[in-house]
Amino acid sequence: MATLEDSFLADLDELSDNEAEMDENDGDVGNEEEDVDMDMADLETLNYDDLDIVSKLQKSQRYIDIMQKVEEALAKDSDGAEKGTVLEDDPEYKLIVDCNQLSVDIENEIAIVHNFIRDKYKLKFQELESLVHHPIDYARVVKKIGNETDITLVDLGDLLPSAIIMGISVTSLTTKGSPLPEDVLQKVLGACDRALDLDSARKKVLDFVESKMGSIAPNLSAIVGSAVAAKLVGTAGGVSALAKMPACNVQVLGHKRKNLAGFSSTSQSRVGYLEQTEILQSTPPGLRARASRLVAAKSTLAARVDATRGDMAGINGRALREEIRKKIEKWQEPPPARQPKPLPVPDSEPKKRRGGRRLRKMKERYAVTDMRKMANRMRFGTPEESSLGAGLGEGYGMLGQAGSNRLRVSSVPSKLKLNAKVAKKLKERQYTGGATTSGLTSSLAFTPVQGIELCNPQQALGLGSGTQSTYFSESGTFSKLKKI
Amino acid sequence: MSSLLLKTLTKKEEIDRIIRDTIDEVLVLRFGRCTDTVCLQHDDILAKSVTDVSKFAKVALVDVDSEDVQVYVKYFDITWFPSTVFFFNAHHLKLDSGTADHTKWVGAFHIKQDFIDVVEAIYRGAMKGKMIVQCPVPPERIPKYQLLYKDV
């Protein structure tokens, strides 16, 4: 099964390369895979006229053999299950496995034939293909219409829902197609018959498999249903192979890998054949992922029971199914109603002091920084620098001192408003010590009586001549000199 | 309607029993009539907060019209209905709400949260061993009244 799929994908990639093969493989009937290669190439070139080039399945030996066996088995309807023998040796079991593969092949074949019909019929009625999607319905409709130009004369009531019939009648009035030539018409009708034959054959095979599944894997079919069970067993390659798989693999058996380049695979739900089970179809979409995991797990257990043929009556399977159903129901029930909670007794719960990394990080924001620690300490013997100089402003402590490898202190002006006393002292320092006095300041004062007068600018500011300095000023001297 | 949820006491033994039997819980006794409108409002608030406060308080209503209960009415000097008296472990607790009478709460509470706050304050004070607690209700929500002294 997997190899076929892979070969299809490979073929789509190298479609043009296969043109050359077409001529060589004309006569080959037996090999299934090569036929398929050719068919893909044929689609591309649209160079075929004969249906038999396109669809060779019905003529292949394998197909004929298996169909024969199926007919026999259906007619016989044997139900003597040999409990003693190993499952794999049972000839019926082999037939089931073959039938699974065949049903997939038939499906592909139908698709190919559908393409053939569609391409031929496009000349007559192009829009029909977009109105009727299902290949078998399309084949039936084409067969019914034939070469008729007036669709209203054709009775499609039993084939399609009335809405689509209406759509068809309307579009047929405006279609630009023309009636087909006789030989093409014959080919098309032959292809339709072929498609319908294949469909009925597929149905037969599936029915057979379903009926036998109950005796081959009763527990598994009890959970997932016989059709899906048959598909799972077919893909796995046997009941024991299915039993050996872990449940996560069973979940994705049959998953169609649709992710083209650039699309994320997380948006796809990873469910395969299990998606078609009755259980999953009836669960609401929100719970599908959980339910699929549950069903996969339980069906793996059932497969293990079946592989060892421990329980041929299917009791285990039914019990597991019941369990699954109950669990899914439990997930869907609403949460219990909220009770009004009474207030806690005051002061009964001690305050929970929380610790941990988060609190420590928060506390770090308000902790004493290293810079501040250095500023708080002072060196012995050397006066510390301060922001406004001479003991005014903030002291810098160990910062900026030679010998300490800490920060240089940059002169960022503080935004604090200085109080009057400190401001005055700062101004005095500026005047006495500052080397950067403005060149435009003048010490000359113009008085009306004496004319030009040199005066001390500090006096104007009320600073005096340095006698009014602070206790700790480095430019100041003794504040009071008293003659003893 | 709310008095259906709260127990109504009519006899002296019932009151005695309930005061004795509430251990480590604040006992709230409302003295009043079930027909009075203010009493009804007060009872409504009490009934709504009973579940919230149920872990540390118990609420009961005393019908002031029965003769048994007149002893208590006289003892607590209850003249305005509804009046609420608070007990803890058979001790009568006083509540300083800025009014003249500290021994009881006179009138109805304005909001449920006020009542819960008062009960919590009483509980905390009682657990610490205090006999009088400060009222946490802001003064605009405390029913004001004038205490008239008669025969004094």
Q: What pLDDT sits at residue B115?
A: 94
Q: What pLDDT sits at residue A271?
A: 87
Tell me what ipTM this predicted complex has.
0.82
Measured distance CA(B30)–CA(B61) in Å, rounded:
5
Residues in chain A, pLDDT under 70? 1-4, 8-10, 12-55, 57, 77-90, 258-261, 403-416, 432-480
Measured distance CA(A14)–CA(A25) in Å, rounded:
17
Mapping DSSP to helix (H, G, I), strand (E, B) and coil, where does residue B84 land?
strand
Q: Are B83 and B53 in contact (CB under 8 A)?
A: no
Q: What is the CA radius of gyration of chain B?
A: 14
Report the predicted TM-score, pTM, of the whole model to 2 decimal places.
Answer: 0.50
- Residue B82, preceding peptide bond in cis (omega within 30° of 0): yes
Q: What pLDDT sits at residue A472?
A: 62
CB distance A345–B124 less than 8 Å? no
> What residues form DSSP beta bridges with B87?
B27, B92
- Which positions in chain A touch B120 (Cβ < 8 Å)? 346
Measured distance CA(A406)–CA(B5) in Å, rounded:
74
Exposure string over B77-96, b if 16+ CB within 10 A, otherwise e? ebeebbbbbbbbeeebbbbe
Q: What pLDDT sits at residue A3?
A: 66
pLDDT in tens, B24-76: 999 999 999 888 899 999 999 999 999 899 999 999 999 888 888 998 999 99
**Strand B105-106, strand B83-88: pairing:** antiparallel
Measured distance CA(B31)–CA(B84) in Å, rounded:
6
Measured distance CA(B62)–CA(A393) in Å, rounded:
72
CB contact residues (below 8 A), chain B span 6-35, against chain A = none
Spell out the residues 6+ positions from residue A121 whose beta carbon is closer than 8 angstroms to its own. A128, A129, A142, A180, A188
CB distance B55–A342 less than 8 Å? yes
Mean pLDDT of chain A: 77
Measured distance CA(B89)–CA(A405) in Å, rounded:
68
Q: Which residue, B101, B93, B115, B114, is CA-closest to B146?
A: B101
Q: Does B122 touch chain A if contact means CB atoms closer than 8 Å? A: no
Burial class of residue A427 in the structure, from the number of CB atoms within 10 Å of its CB (0-12 exposed, 13-18 middle, 19+ buried): middle
List Cα–Cα distances, A44 to A14, A343, B134, in angstroms: 11, 77, 94
CB distance B123–A346 less than 8 Å? yes
CB distance A343–B52 less than 8 Å? yes
CB distance B52–A345 less than 8 Å? no
Q: Does B51 touch chain A if contact means CB atoms closer than 8 Å? A: yes
pLDDT in tens, A62-87: 778 888 887 887 777 554 444 444 55
**A81 or B121, which is more confident:** B121
pLDDT in tens, A193-227: 888 888 888 888 888 887 888 888 899 999 999 88
Q: What pLDDT sits at residue A469?
A: 47
Q: What pLDDT sits at residue B126?
A: 93
CB distance B54–A342 less than 8 Å? yes
Measured distance CA(A84)–CA(A82) in Å, rounded:
6
Q: Are A168 and A156 in contact (CB under 8 A)?
A: yes
**Strand B91-96, strand B132-134: pairing:** parallel
- Which positions in chain A touch B136 (Cβ < 8 Å)? none
Measured distance CA(B78)–CA(B86) in Å, rounded:
13
Q: What pLDDT sits at residue A391?
A: 78
Q: What pLDDT sits at residue A28?
A: 37
CB contact residues (below 8 A), chain A span 338-357, against chain B = 340, 342-347
